Structure 1
Amino acid sequence: MNHIFYIMGKSSSGKDTIYKKLLESDALLPLVLYTTRPMRENEQEGREYHFTDRKGFEEKLASGTVIEERTYDTVYGDWTYFTCSDNIDLEKGNYLGIGTLESFVKINAFFGSERVIPVYIEVDDGIRLIRAVEREMREEKPKYTELCRRFIADSEDFSEEKLKEAGIERRFSNSGTFEECFSQVEEYIRSIL
């Protein structure tokens, strides 16, 4: 049986780096979500996200292929992120996805817990904040206000109560070295494949 390994964690936990490195092998197909937010520097259509606009989102919604969607009221306006069933075919192989706890819960409900495997990355909040600021400083136009909004929202979105309700038991700490965390995640996924 093929699976969807779903990476999640608070912002700046290292989940994007882990996701990209895991995709370097041929064992996992990328589960690419959609978003209405603007593309960041160094992002590419179809790699990080499928970038669309509000009209594109509404068309997908009308087609009945949207599994889950979230809209965030950001300092730059509403940004919607969503997953569509039309780009997931579990007959083709195992997928690797990345997203929020909320999106995991809905994808898990759609495909079933025997197919959707959570991979929760956690990092000390102080380390996360430093990483987030350093990453934003590299942007041509840093969005510090949005960084702060995301950081604060993560406390509620990934509360211990919500993690427990979602059935998240296994956690991977990325507060030490990246290599150590990545190795543990990779070994875990291989044990299921």
Structure 2
Amino acid sequence: MNRTLSKAQKILAVMFELARGQSKPLHYEDIVVFAFRKHPQDFQLRGYPEYPDSSDLHKPLYAMKRDGLVRSASDKSFILTARGLEVARELIGAAETPHDRLTKQEENEIKRITKSPAFDLFRRGEAAKLLDTDFYDYLGASVRTPKGDFLGRLAVVEEAVRAHQAKINDRLSETLSALHEWMVDHFQPEIEARR
């Protein structure tokens, strides 16, 4: 890593290394200790540079959860999402992704969206029939999805739609963009209730 990374990016790279590039649960304490060992200047306890400061990781970790890069696994454990793994790989230069093709995760999101009832109704001009349950299904979430995970799913879907528009830019891209814009506008109260 020869560029300057933010604390959140350093945490993401640390998690990627700890998980050996896999999507597996990592205990919060392990993340704290490993981040401190890799970047002591960024994650040390103020006044006690020989000790890690877990508070330096808390906020960035939950912001990454909101952004769909990590998710909670169990009590104080976190897992890198498929998107988190991709971003971490790019950060550490582990794999070059062609910039004119969708990533595997983006492809999977687009496939999931195009098979959803929301996509079908919207494409047939019956958007007025869409319900909040269709909105949650469109996001790959449910009404019981925790706030951070819900916002993470929203970010992942937005990124997949944006990537399709930027990389493919065909009629499907236009439909996906229009559907996403309609969903976000129409279900704005649902989104705001979870921010």
The structure with higher relative contact order (CA 8 Å, sep 6+) is 1
Query: Where is the strand percentage greater, Structure 1 or Structure 2?
Result: 1
Larger-Rg structure? 2
Of Structure 1 and Structure 2, the greater helix share is in 2
Structure 1 length as normaliser, TM-score? 0.28
